[in-house]
Chain A
Amino acid sequence: MPYMLFMAFLVLLPLVLIGIYAFTDMQGHFTIHNFLLFFSKSEAVNTFIYSIAIALLTTMICLVLGYPAAYIMAMRSFRTPAVIAMLFILPMWINFLLRTIATVELFHMFNLPLGEGALLFGMVYDFLPFMIYPIYNTLQKMDLSLIEAAQDLGANRGKVFTKVVLPLSAPGIYSGIVMVFMPTVSTFAISELLTHNKITLFGSLIQRSFGEGGTTMWNYGAALSLIMLVIIAATSFFGQGDADVDNQKGGLL
C-alpha cells in the first residue's frame, strides 16, 4: 500500500528521527546528555512547568466560559438561532496569528501592559471556539427525551444537569480539553507576540534551539521535542485519541 509507505516515510520516520537526535550528540554518539542538560537548567525546567500551568489554566478558563455558551446554544429552550452558533465557530477559520495580533493591538489601544494577563486573555480568545464547538456538538446530538424522563422521574433542574446532561456531554468536554490544551502547551508564536518576548514558553524554547544560530542546539531541541511528544501522546490518550477529536474542524464542512 503506497500510502502507508508515504506515511511511514514522512510521518513515522521523522518522529523516530526526533528520538534519534534526542539521544545522540553532534557526532552521532549515543548520549543522555541532552536530557541531563534540560533537567540541570532550572530555568528550562521552570519554563516547562510554567507552560503546562498556563496551558492548564487556559483550558480551564475556556471550559468555564465555553460550557455555558455551548449549553445555551444547544438547548432548544433558549431559542438561540443557529447563526449564533456559527458566529462562535467562525473565528476558528481566521489565521490565529492575525487574531493574536488583533489582541495585541487591543491591549495597545487601551494602554494595557503586555504580559501574563495579555497572554492568558489572548490564548483564551484564540482557543475558546475550539472548546465550544465539540461541547455544542455533543449537546446538540443529545436525546432530549432523556432530560424529560429525568424530569418526569422527579429530578429538579440541578439534578437533571449533574446526572444527565453533564455525563452525556463528557465526550465533548474531553475533545474540547484536548483541542485547547494541545495547541496552548505547544505554542511558540502566540506567547512571543502577546508578551513582547517577556515570557518564554516551552514551545519557544524548542523553537530557539532550532533557530538559525547553527546546528549546535539541534540535539538539545530534539530532546525537548521528545518531552513535548510524550505530553501530547498522554493528552491524546486522555481524549481517547478518537478520530472524532481530530475531525472536529472537518465537521464544520
Chain B
Amino acid sequence: MKTYSMVEKRGLGSRIGAHLYLAMLLVLLYAPILLIIVFSFTKSKVFGNWTGFTFALYQNLFAGYDFAAQVRVDPNLYRALLYTGSIAIIAATLATLLGTLAAIGIFNMRQRERRLAMFVNSIPMINPDILTGISLFLLFVFLGVSRGLGTVIIAHVVFCTPYVVLSVMPRLNKMNPNIYEAALDLGATPFQALRKVLMPELWPGMVSGFILSLTLSIDDFGVTFFTKGSNGLETLSTFIYADARKGGLTPELRPLFSLIFLTILVLLIIMNIRTKKQIKQ
C-alpha cells in the first residue's frame, strides 16, 4: 500500500503537540464527569467535600434508604427513574412502528411529495426542544387535553419518529424493490409480505432507530418540561432540574450518574467493536 507523503512530513514534535492538545481538551471535557464519579465514593452531603472513601451512597441508592441519616432517599427520585424508563420504552416502541411504516409510505411517494414529506419530517429534528415543547403545550391547551403521562409520551413520539424514518430510509433504498412484489405474486397477503419480507430487510434500521429514540427520550428535558403538566410527574431530567434549582443536589444522584456514565461508555465501546468487525467482514 502506498503511504501518503503527509505521513512522512509530519515531525515527531508536531505529533506530540497535537496529542497534547487533544489530551488537554479531553481533560477539560471529562473533569466535571470524573469529579462526580470521584465524589460518588464519599458520603458528604455537600459536593466537593471529601469525607473519606465509602460505598455508602451506592448502598443508599440501591436500598432506597439513607443509613447514616436514617431517612429514606427521596422516593421521587425512583419514581422519576421509573417514569423515564417507561416513557422511553413506550415512546421508542411507538416511534419505531410509526416511523417504519412512515418510511415505507414516504419511499413509495412520488418525487415531489417525497421531498415535502421529508421536509415536514425534518422539522421536529431542527426545532429546539423549547419550541417543540411550547408548540405542543399550546396544542394540548387548545384541545383542552389535561397534561400528564399521555401527553409526554405523545410528545416523545413526535420528536423520536423522524429519526426512525431517517434510520429506516437507507435500508429501503438499498433493498431490492422487487422482492415485495414477488412475495405478493407468490400468494402472500400484503401483511404477510410486510412481516416476512420487508421487516427482515428493514430490521437493522429499525433497531438503530429504536435505540436512538430511547436515548433521545431519556435525554429529553425541554419537551417533557412543557408537556408534563403539574401533577407531580417528573422524569430524571426534570427531577434533576427541580433538585438543582432548590439548591443542593440529592447526593445519591452522584452514584446514579456514575453508573449511567459507565453503562453508556461500555455500550459505545461494544457498538464500536461490533461495527469494526462488520467492516472487516
Instruction: Return the contact of A203 from the options B4, B130, B142, B218 (Cβ within 8 A).
Output: B130
Main secondary structure on B side of the interface with A? helix
Residues of the B chain whose Cβ atoms lie less than 8 Å from the Cβ of A173: none
The smallest beta-carbon distance between B196 and chain A, in angstroms, is 23
- Complex CA gap A238/B212 in Å reads 26
Residues of the A chain whose Cβ atoms lie less than 8 Å from the Cβ of B136: 10, 14
Residues of the B chain whose Cβ atoms lie less than 8 Å from the Cβ of A12: 120, 123
On whether the beta carbons of B219 and A104 are closer than 8 Å, the reply is: no
Residues of the A chain whose Cβ atoms lie less than 8 Å from the Cβ of B208: 250, 253
On whether the beta carbons of B29 and A91 are closer than 8 Å, the reply is: yes
- Complex CA gap A245/B139 in Å reads 27
On whether the beta carbons of B244 and A101 are closer than 8 Å, the reply is: yes
- In this complex, how many residues of chain B approach chain A with their Cβ under 8 Å: the count is 87
- In this complex, how many residues of chain A approach chain B with their Cβ under 8 Å: the count is 88
Residues of the A chain whose Cβ atoms lie less than 8 Å from the Cβ of B230: 212
Residues of the B chain whose Cβ atoms lie less than 8 Å from the Cβ of A7: 120-121, 123
Given that A69-B25, A105-B47 are known contacts, is A144 also in contact with B4, CB under 8 Å in the complex?
Answer: yes
The A-B contact count (CB < 8 A) is 240
Given contacts A88-B29, A105-B36, 4 further A-B contacts (CB under 8 A): A83-B272, A98-B260, A147-B6, A186-B129
Query: Which residues of A pack against B, CB within 8 Å?
Result: 1-4, 6-8, 10-15, 17-18, 21, 65, 68-69, 72-73, 75-80, 82-84, 86-88, 90-91, 93-99, 101-106, 108-109, 125, 128-129, 144, 147-148, 151, 157, 182-183, 185-189, 192-193, 203, 206-207, 210, 212, 218, 221-222, 225, 228-229, 232, 236, 241, 243, 245-247, 249-250, 253
Q: List 29 A-B contacts (CB under 8 A).
A: A1-B106, A2-B101, A10-B154, A77-B4, A77-B9, A77-B10, A80-B22, A83-B269, A84-B26, A88-B29, A90-B268, A91-B29, A93-B219, A94-B260, A97-B240, A97-B244, A98-B260, A106-B31, A109-B47, A125-B28, A125-B29, A147-B4, A148-B6, A187-B130, A228-B128, A246-B122, A247-B166, A250-B166, A253-B208
